[in-house]
Copies of this chain bind each other. A is one copy, B any other.
């Protein structure tokens, strides 16, 4: 592999190259040579996502503090070099670390990984962008805290802030991440800083407990945007309830999804279910259990629905499998259990409740349990344990393995989908929480993905009281010739058909930023703000930029 020298950055015009060189000298003066990478290996890694990309990364800089970051941004402005910040850079399926435009210098914030404040009583933590799910989990464990974080199903090494600013979601009552934060410190595109909410007032006692502050509320500007870099954030944590219980359910037929959603909506709206409920189709579940069944299919793709039916009955999972958590006092959980049972009666083919005691019991006596209940727990438990943990705020590696679905070798101990050529494109439309809508999305997905030769893997999350966030995975092996193009064509087709029907994505990867387009009032307003606060256009050009 070609290793470009500092003097000859690849794919940049000569004079731009000279500016980059000067900027690199300045950055190196600030950060030290260890924290500015221009070697080909680092750059190539940064230019690699889980799908085909073309944008180059001339260098990677790694500030360790807000002050260093500010200096880096000022330098970027001085030399007019676009920069692209990432927290942990694990935005798999949406572009990983690859910038939304060409020739952006990557600003890697993973060294800014301090936990700045923690309050057990008021249940919050204040962190920098490099703090990961694992780090916070361990921090809470070490303090024997009674607080739970809300973890996403991605890697434990994902940044908390990174996920919040992308408006990701998790599994507890704090599952809509962007709704559970406040008190941002932001480095603006000029290098200046701003604090949101009451944090802006020196000596304020309420910066971490009340979101809105006084005057215009600005947090929203710094989510899914290129308007600033969040360098500090307070994340609210959930006190462990007196009792926790998970429920798992299964539908045998594809057409059960619509009535299921109709049955769940009232529980969500009534606050009986306070947490996000996750429902996965058979393809999604299978990819969680194992890799592509190359033997059964004689190496042919895609996995046909007819074959899937056989796998379902052999491996004992449904057309749809779901899970949710019940949180509260013992009495509240018992009451919620009754309500869930009642609502799902006749809607699901299997419904099982699990708590710590039963999980421990089942793990020890899986065989006996199967005899007693007819439910084969061994596979179910393997699948259930990480999901169960997520509902209690325990991050897990497990779902990440599904990125290796179409690979022919097993996932390595240290998984890195970018490095390992895993193909993954995520499309994440929101639907109103009504049966008819999720049905339309499921049907579209099935038709289009199979047509392009991919498995229609879908999860549906009842993310709020009124909305379902669907995550559709286009999973493939990047090492297979032609698959990159095929997958991208599939993604774009799916995205077009979804938006034409009114289902827009809650989150976009660099493959789908064009969905933001539109010379409408919103777009013009965001553009006016961008121009006002980023006069040199250095911060993440193209990222969630409507015009």
Residues of A within 8 A of B (CB): 121-124, 167, 173, 178-179, 186, 188, 192-196, 198, 200-201, 203-206, 208-225, 227, 236, 239, 241-242, 265-266, 269-272, 274, 327-329, 331-332, 334-336, 338-339, 430-434, 437, 463-467, 499-508, 515-516, 518, 520-526, 528-529, 531-533, 544-546
Contact = CB atoms under 8 A, between A and B. Distances in A.
Contacts of A338: 331
Nearest to A188: B525
B192 A524 contact: yes
A521 B194 contact: yes
Given A193-B521, A217-B221, A502 B206 contact: yes
A439 to B, nearest CB: 13
Given A270-B241, A332-B335, A467-B209, A520 B200 contact: yes
Given A215-B526, A532-B532, 19 more contacts: A178-B217, A194-B525, A195-B521, A195-B522, A201-B504, A206-B504, A210-B467, A212-B220, A212-B223, A212-B506, A215-B508, A215-B544, A216-B526, A220-B221, A271-B328, A331-B334, A525-B533, A529-B529, A529-B533
Nearest to A336: B332
A223 B214 contact: no
Contacts of A272: 328-329, 332
A399 B178 CA distance: 35
Contacts of A167: 212
B507 A236 contact: no
B466 A522 contact: no
- Copies of this polypeptide in the complex: 2
Given A332-B335, A504-B204, A504-B214, A269 B239 contact: yes
Contact of A432 (B122, B213, B274, B332): B122
18 contacts: A122-B434, A123-B269, A188-B525, A205-B437, A206-B503, A210-B467, A214-B515, A214-B544, A215-B225, A216-B224, A216-B227, A216-B529, A217-B219, A217-B220, A217-B221, A272-B329, A329-B335, A331-B334
Nearest to A526: B216
Nearest to A186: B521
Contacts of A515: 214
A95 to B, nearest CB: 15
Contact of A516 (B214, B501, B504, B532): B214
Contacts of A505: 214
Contacts of A217: 178, 219-221, 223-224
A340 to B, nearest CB: 11
A499 B211 CA distance: 17
A209 B521 contact: no
B507 A122 contact: no
A221 B214 contact: no
A265 B119 CA distance: 14
Given A200-B522, A216-B223, A205 B271 contact: no
A121 to B, nearest CB: 7
Nearest to A532: B532
Contacts of A430: 198, 206, 209-210
B532 A200 contact: no
Contacts of A241: 270-271
Given A194-B524, A328-B271, A521-B188, A124 B466 contact: yes
A328 B269 CA distance: 11
B328 A200 contact: no
Contacts of A271: 173, 241, 274, 327-328
**Among A463, A466, A500, residue most surrounded by chain B Cβ atoms (within 10 Å):** A466
A212 B521 contact: no
A274 B465 CA distance: 15
Given A205-B503, A432-B205, A194 B239 contact: no
A430 to B, nearest CB: 5
Contacts of A516: 214-215
A30 B222 CA distance: 39
A329 to B, nearest CB: 6
B524 A205 contact: no
A209 B507 contact: no
A214 B507 contact: yes
A526 B224 CA distance: 19
Contact of A206 (B274, B432, B520): B432
A355 to B, nearest CB: 17
B328 A270 contact: yes
A123 B265 CA distance: 11
Contacts of A218: 220-221, 522, 525-526
Contacts of A464: 209-211
A499 B437 CA distance: 49
B209 A433 contact: yes
